[in-house]
């Protein structure tokens, strides 16, 4: 049912406007409340805060449909509902969740999560943003980079160093309203694709927040962060599948209509075989992403599977989108046809939430031995053999 709702919304409210929104970088704000009213922002949120209390398989199915409609909108949904609201639901206190989650589920308040910095992406140890104690709260100083939803957000989760002497145990999360004094949103970045997803730099200039802004346990942001990675990678795998499917659908329709040498080009074996390969790759990527999502829903440690899903799906999607352009011939290279935009939109799936090389590192380390870091263990803890200072790039 959720898949059907998401698919109908994507086809009616997203797909027809992709070219215009890509050109302007804007979309009607009413879309956010519409997505909220349909429950798309609340799939993972607790029922007591207006959510559905659903699982990651349900999330993956819905996000694929939104991505098939518009890649940038699916990134907004990913960062807002999973990356921000999902983290708040796990780590926030009662007051924080009661204040923000119902509004986030409804699409009234959009969230962003600010981890990455100009010189700190996959290497969390390089984070330089500082949070210093002040009368009645904290003062934050630093710069965050590549922050999706940063321009539209009403609330941000900020990763900051609270005790430099404690290393990995000296970082904390803060829940910061974006209208706080000293919270400065920089220019919107001009990007290759996903122009409906705003990406900005955020400057924290002596930004004051009260004591109640501390989210989760003091100094425990890094252990918590390491447990917030598998869901994000599975989410991006589903997103990549959705965009690849959209490009494939365009290519299939074109191949049925375009005629060459007296027949539809789909009836030429070379084109038919290419389409067969594309369909196979999409289905395999989806099946493995769903496999990883089921493991996460069951509480099974699945860092390797999540990284494999993202690695395979991201590479697959770019290849499928490239083949879709090829099937269109010269028309595929024109902005008039959706495959050109989808090809640009999908490229970033191999970068954010950990680059392809980071995923390979994680997979290789999982294959190297069964060492378990019990201190960070548990369902949301670090995985066997995972380096605690890597792999959060892209948020």
**CB 349 within 8 Å of CB 236:** yes
Query: Catalytic residue at 353?
Result: yes
3 state SS of 214: strand
d(CA 19, CA 338): 7
Angle 269-297/303-328 helices, nearest 10 degrees?
A: 160
d(CA 383, CA 91): 19
d(CA 162, CA 168): 11
Hunting for tokens 């003062």 — which residue is that?
139
Picking from 179, 169, 251, 146, the residue whose alpha carbon sits closest to that of residue 216 is 169
* Residue ranges in 10-50 assigned as alpha helix (H): 18-24, 30-37
**DSSP E strand stretches across 246-389:** 259-260, 263-264
d(CA 228, CA 392): 9
**CB 229 within 8 Å of CB 239:** no
d(CA 390, CA 383): 12
Written as six digits, the tokens of 239 are 């997103």
Distances (CA, A) of 135 to 6, 98, 152, 213, 218: 47, 25, 30, 14, 17
3 state SS of 370: coil
Picking from 145, 175, 176, 169, the residue whose alpha carbon sits closest to that of residue 221 is 169
Burial per residue of 4-13, b for 16 or more beta-carbon CB atoms within 10 angstroms, e otherwise: eebbebbeeb
Picking from 173, 54, 178, 55, the residue whose alpha carbon sits closest to that of residue 109 is 178
Length of the chain: 395
* Candidate list 65, 257, 353, 375, residue with the active-site label: 353
Catalytic site residues?
353
């Amino acid at each position: 049912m959720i898949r059907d709702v998401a698919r109908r919304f994507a086809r009616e409210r997203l797909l027809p406007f992709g070219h215009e929104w890509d050109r302007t970088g804007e979309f009607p704000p009413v879309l956010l409340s519409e997505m909220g009213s349909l429950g798309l922002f609340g799939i993972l949120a607790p029922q007591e805060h207006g959510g559905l209390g659903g699982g990651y398989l349900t999330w993956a199915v819905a996000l694929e449909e939104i991505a098939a409609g518009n890649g940038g909108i699916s990134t907004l949904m990913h960062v807002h509902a999973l990356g921000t609201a999902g983290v708040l639901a796990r780590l926030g206190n009662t007051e924080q969740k009661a204040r923000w989650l119902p509004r986030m589920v409804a699409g009234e308040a959009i969230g962003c999560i600010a981890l990455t910095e100009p010189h700190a992406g996959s290497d969390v140890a390089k984070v330089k943003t500082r949070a210093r104690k002040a009368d009645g709260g904290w003062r934050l100083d630093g710069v965050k980079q590549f922050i999706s939803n940063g321009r539209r957000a009403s609330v941000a989760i900020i990763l900051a160093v609270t005790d430099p002497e404690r290393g990995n145990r000296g970082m904390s999360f803060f829940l910061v309203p974006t209208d706080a004094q000293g919270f400065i949103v920089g220019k919107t970045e001009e990007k290759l694709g996903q122009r409906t997803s705003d990406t900005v730099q955020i400057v924290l200039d002596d930004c004051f927040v009260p004591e109640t802004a501390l989210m989760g346990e003091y100094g425990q942001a890094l252990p918590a962060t390491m447990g917030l990675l598998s869901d994000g990678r599975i989410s991006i795998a589903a997103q990549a599948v959705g965009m690849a499917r959209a490009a494939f659908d365009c290519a299939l329709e074109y191949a049925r209509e375009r005629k060459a040498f007296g027949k539809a080009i789909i009836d030429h074996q070379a084109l038919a075989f290419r389409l067969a390969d594309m369909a196979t790759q999409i289905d395999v990527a989806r099946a493995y992403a769903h496999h990883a999502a089921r493991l996460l829903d069951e509480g099974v440690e699945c860092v390797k599977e999540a990284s494999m899903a993202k690695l395979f799906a991201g590479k697959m999607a770019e290849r499928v989108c490239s083949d879709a352009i090829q099937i269109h011939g010269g028309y595929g290279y024109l902005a008039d046809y959706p495959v050109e935009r989808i090809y640009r939109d999908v490229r970033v799936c191999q970068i954010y939430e950990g680059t392809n090389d980071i995923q390979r590192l994680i997979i290789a380390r999982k294959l190297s031995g069964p060492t378990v870091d019990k201190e960070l263990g548990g369902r949301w803890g670090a995985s066997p053999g995972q380096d605690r200072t890597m792999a959060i790039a892209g948020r």
